[in-house]
Amino acid sequence: MCSVFMNVLSFFWDRGNRSIAKSILRIIIYINFINIMKFRVVIFSFLFAFSCETQDPEEHISWKKKRYDELFTDDGYLNIAGLYPVQDGNYLMGSGESNDIKIPSDLPELLANVSLEDSLITFKFNLPVILNDTLEVESLSYNFYNIKNSFSLGSYVWFVHLDSGSKAIRIRNLKHPLLDTKLVIDFFPYSLDYVIQGRYEKYDTPKVLSFNNILGDSYLDTIPGIIHFNFGNKDFSFEPTISASGKFFVAFEDLTSGQDTYGGGRYLYILPEDENSNVIIDFNKSLNPPCVFSIFTTCPVPRKENKLPIKISAGEKNYDGVLFSSVYQ
């Protein structure tokens, strides 16, 4: 269009009609200005859309902070000082080399005699300890499946740990020497491409199947249904269990596992389905399992049904920081 006006401008200018030519020149300048502004709007819109796509929304920033803070709580994974599998039988528990359950060196050489029979555990301590932060005791027998007791001495707390097929005594040091260490968890850039609407299909009869944990123990858990989703115009699915919070829980692997992300897979929590059986899968919230921070854990490993043949370049990357259990290994 501007070339047409330029030809007309030349026509009138050559014939001495300068006033008309000047008016046409103003029109040309105005048209160019409008085109430049349109171009700027297009560029701004593109940059704004790109920024919204990659910048963490406030909700995700809050989620990452909560994730980080929870690792440092008293019942987080960073202060664990030992995990000791137990079966029916008698055990000596203390820091001495001859003990069956060898605990950290700043605890007594012989702290307790421990015996297990079926669901009953008995602790006979060699000095008073604190039960559940309230009572001083020197011995106690209880059903560890029904009662969750904890004992403490100084900064140490111990209890029977039942999870993911493991039965063990777990010890925490609430003043773990590495708790002041800066913890760095790397994430892929946030992307809306990895926030996906899926569909939950409830099984008529829930599956009860065997799962494995990182220690090689097996256990039974219930799969209530299957979650279907589409990514990159291809259909995928995985089978969740139900977490203690009531959310769906998925231990999954993908093509980043063992490269950009932890080789043993990652974890994902998904809110229950809505009235239309829809769920929101936010892979930006894919977590490293606790075993990347400590060997004193019992992480479930992904079943083959939950190994995705695609790259999920979202969520937490492989952790290569300090191993918090190294103090007590």
pLDDT band (50, 70, 90) for residue 56: confident
| Whether 67 contacts 187, CB under 8 Å | no
Beta-carbon count within 10 A of 18 CB:
10
Q: Which two structure tokens, joined as six digits, stand for 89?
A: 């039988």
Residue 14 has pLDDT above 70, yes or no: no
| Mean predicted confidence (pLDDT) in 245-257 | 98
Residue 25 has pLDDT above 90, yes or no: no
Question: Could you report the per-residue pLDDT of 171-206, keeping only the tens digit for each?
Answer: 999 999 999 999 999 999 999 999 999 999 999 999
Classify burial at 226, counting beta carbons within 10 Å of its beta carbon; exposed 0-12, middle 13-18, buried 19 or more. Answer: middle
CA atoms of 143 and 132, how far apart (whole Å): 15
| Mean predicted confidence (pLDDT) in 250-273 | 98
Q: What are the Cα distances from residue 226, in Å, to 200, 234, 243, 244, 265?
A: 6, 16, 15, 18, 19
**pLDDT value at position 43?**
41
Looking at residue 194, its amino acid is Y
pLDDT band (50, 70, 90) for residue 55: low
**pLDDT value at position 322?**
95
| Whether 308 contacts 252, CB under 8 Å | yes
Report the candidate in 209, 239, 242 with the shortest Cα–Cα distance to residue 225.
239
Question: Could you report the per-residue pLDDT of 135-151, keeping only the tens digit for each?
Answer: 999 999 999 999 999 99
Residue 20 has pLDDT above 90, yes or no: no
Question: Could you report the per-residue pLDDT of 286-327, keeping only the tens digit for each?
Answer: 999 999 999 999 999 999 999 999 999 999 999 999 999 999
CA atoms of 155 and 322, how far apart (whole Å): 22
**pLDDT value at position 173?**
99
Beta strand extents in the chain (DSSP E only)? 80-85, 89-94, 101-102, 112-117, 120-131, 135-143, 150-153, 156-163, 166-173, 195-212, 218-231, 234-238, 241-242, 248-252, 266-270, 278-282
**pLDDT value at position 164?**
86
For the chain, give the mean pLDDT.
90
Question: Could you report the per-residue pLDDT of 74-87, keeping only the tens digit for each?
Answer: 999 999 999 999 99
Question: Could you report the per-residue pLDDT of 205-218, keeping only the tens digit for each?
Answer: 999 999 999 999 99
Residue 255 has pLDDT above 50, yes or no: yes
Residue 114 has pLDDT above 60, yes or no: yes
pLDDT top residue among 13 and 124: 124
Classify burial at 189, counting beta carbons within 10 Å of its beta carbon; exposed 0-12, middle 13-18, buried 19 or more. Answer: exposed
Question: Could you report the per-residue pLDDT of 266-296, keeping only the tens digit for each?
Answer: 999 999 999 999 999 999 999 999 999 999 9
pLDDT band (50, 70, 90) for residue 44: very low
CA atoms of 63 and 66, how far apart (whole Å): 5
Residue 58: its H or E element = helix 58-71
**pLDDT value at position 48?**
40
Check the CA dihedral 137-138-143-149 and report its sign: positive
**pLDDT value at position 19?**
64
pLDDT band (50, 70, 90) for residue 47: very low
Residue 23 has pLDDT above 70, yes or no: no
